[in-house]
Amino acid sequence: MEPWLEKIEKIAQEVAEREGCVLYDIEHVGAGKGRIIRVFIDKVEGVGITDCSNVSKGLNLMLDVEDIVPGSMYNLEVSTPGLDRHLKKPWHFEKVIGKKIYVKLAKSLGSMGLTEEKGMIAMKQFDDVLAGVEGETLVFNLRGETIKLPLSQIEKAKLVFEVKSNSKPKKK
């Protein structure tokens, strides 16, 4: 992460905490007039539009005073991480133990020496229920085999949003 973005992350964390939220993640896309700084906030009881608005106003004010963003032209977006939230930090994964997540790996399971099962050796991505987190390692029960996956080997991970149907049987 670039030093100026680290400074923004620290300020965003302070502003989010002041508003009763937690900074979930921050990302930067584009450059020049098209530069966008995205700030994702969360809290146990759920984030509302007022929370996003308050964090946005507070953060905008602080960023204007500090003048941290190179080129000074940017758009600030503050929102929730969403239902299919990206998972990066250990605490992100700890919050979703017992839920299905999508994982894309840097290398195949077999090349990391994590399995010898023929059907899983070449796997570089999968959806499965996260069984646990042990420090910097994720634990899965993939096809009946316990797989301990280092966070450093994950290229991308996100929560899989599943719709649970409570529909009644159709009448004939």
Question: Is the model's pLDDT at 150 over the cut of 90?
Answer: yes
Between 68 and 89, where is the model more confident? Answer: 89
Three-state DSSP state, 105: strand
Whole-model pTM: value is 0.77
- Does pLDDT of 155 surpass 70? yes
Q: What percent of the chain has pLDDT over 70?
A: 95
Look at residue 29 and tell me if it is in a domain: yes
Q: Can you give the residue range of the structural domain that contains 63?
A: 3-79
Q: Considering only the C-alpha atoms of the chain, give the largest distance between any 2 of them, rounded to a whole number of Å.
A: 67
Domain count, the chain: 2
Write out the DSSP string of 80-102.
---TT-B--SHHHHHTTTTSEEE
Q: Residue 8 sits in a domain of what CATH number?
A: 3.30.300.70
Residues 107 and 154 in one domain: yes
Same domain, 9 and 63: yes
Kindly state the DSSP code that residue 2 receives in the 8-state scheme. Answer: -
> Ranked by mean pLDDT, which of 28-37, 45-54, 61-70, 112-121 comes out on top?
45-54
Choose one of 79, 112, 128: the last residue of a domain.
79
The CATH number of the domain holding residue 115 is 2.30.30.100
Q: What's the whole-number mean pLDDT along residues 82-89?
A: 91
Regarding whether 36 and 98 lie in a shared domain, the answer is no
116 pLDDT higher than 80: no
User: 114 and 46, same structural domain?
Assistant: no
Contacts of 152 (CB under 8 A, 6+ apart): 136
CA dist 108 to 111, 114, 120, 161, Å?
5, 9, 8, 25
pLDDT attached to residue 170? 64
